[in-house]
Structures are given as structure tokens and as C-alpha cells.
């Protein structure tokens, strides 16, 4: 998509909780469009400014998106990551994703019926994912 401008406000959303959203990268904008185009997504929110974080041994994990699916309902966490940041099994970003997976599993184990899911997708893969299920299918890390 030509014409992407980082930190510019983008609007026209149908499922977002706010009218305008800013993005740092084009893959984040494309992920937002995938969320917005998902008939199963009741609402979504860009986590900027940060309203949700998970503390990890290597610093706070502040995911890119939060959403809620209409079925069940399930709340979700979506992180978009550049491939170069996903390098190495002990990289900071992999350890944060592992912590998010552990958090999600722990919350679901203690749940009173509400559930969470988590997915981390590589930025380069997003153009091939038109909706949330496609994003989750290509995720490098996910729960459940």
C-alpha cells in the first residue's frame, strides 16, 4: 500500500472502539484492517496509548491490539512483530511472547467462563491474512 504515513490518524473503522487510530508500521495498519474486516470480531482496540500490559522477566509486554470475538465471547491479544526482532530462541521478543502465552494459559485456567487467546504474527506475513482466523493461522506463537 503506497502512501502509508507512520503516526498519522487513520479512520473509517466499523469495529474499532475509537474513531481514529495511529500506527507505527504498515503491517500494523494491515492487521487492524484484518481485525476490522472480521465478522467474528465484536470490537478491537489499538493498545496505544498503552492500556494493557503483561509484566515479564525482560520488561513489560505491551501488545499492539486487543479484541473481543462475538462467539463465546473470547478476548484476544494480537502482536505484530518484524521478522528481524523474532531472531533467536532467547530474544527479548520471544521471551515476552512466551510470557504472554503463560499469562493467557493461567488466566484461562482460573477463569469463571471468560476466555483469552493470544497470537503473535510476523509483519511480512500479514498481507495474506484478511481476517482474525487467517492471522491466527499464520501466527508464530499463539494460545490456544
pLDDT, tens digit (0-9, with 9 covering 90-100), for 47-61: 999 999 999 999 999
Per-residue pLDDT tens digits for 27-80: 999 999 999 999 999 999 999 999 999 999 999 999 999 999 998 889 999 999
Indicate the number of domains in the chain.
1
Question: Does a structural domain hold residue 99?
Answer: yes
pTM for this prediction: 0.94
For residue 103, give its domain range. 24-143
Question: Does a structural domain hold residue 132?
Answer: yes
Question: What does the pLDDT average to over 72-92?
Answer: 84
Cα 59–Cα 65–Cα 66 angle in degrees, nearest 5: 100
Question: Does a structural domain hold residue 94?
Answer: yes
Largest CA-CA distance found in the chain, in angstroms, rounded: 46
**Residue 4: pLDDT over 60:** yes
On whether the CB atoms of residues 26 and 32 are closer than 8 A, the answer is: no
Cα 110–Cα 118–Cα 6 angle in degrees, nearest 5: 140
User: Read out DSSP for 13-52?
Assistant: -SSBSSS-EE-SSHHHHHHHHHHHT-TTEEEEEE--S---
Amino acid at each position: 500500500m503506497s502512501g502509508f504515513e507512520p503516526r498519522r490518524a487513520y479512520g473509517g473503522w466499523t469495529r474499532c472502539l475509537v474513531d481514529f487510530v495511529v500506527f507505527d508500521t504498515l503491517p500494523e495498519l494491515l492487521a487492524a484492517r484484518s481485525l476490522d474486516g472480521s465478522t467474528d470480531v465484536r470490537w478491537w482496540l489499538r493498545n496505544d496509548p498503552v492500556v494493557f500490559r503483561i509484566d515479564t522477566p525482560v520488561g513489560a509486554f505491551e501488545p499492539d491490539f486487543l479484541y473481543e470475538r462475538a462467539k463465546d465471547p473470547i478476548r484476544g491479544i494480537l502482536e505484530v512483530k518484524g521478522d528481524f526482532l523474532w531472531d533467536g530462541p532467547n530474544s527479548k521478543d520471544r521471551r515476552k511472547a512466551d510470557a504472554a502465552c503463560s499469562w493467557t494459559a493461567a488466566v484461562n485456567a482460573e477463569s469463571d467462563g471468560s476466555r483469552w487467546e493470544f497470537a503473535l504474527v510476523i509483519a511480512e506475513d500479514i498481507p495474506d491474512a484478511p481476517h482474525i482466523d487467517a492471522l491466527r493461522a499464520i501466527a508464530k506463537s499463539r494460545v490456544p
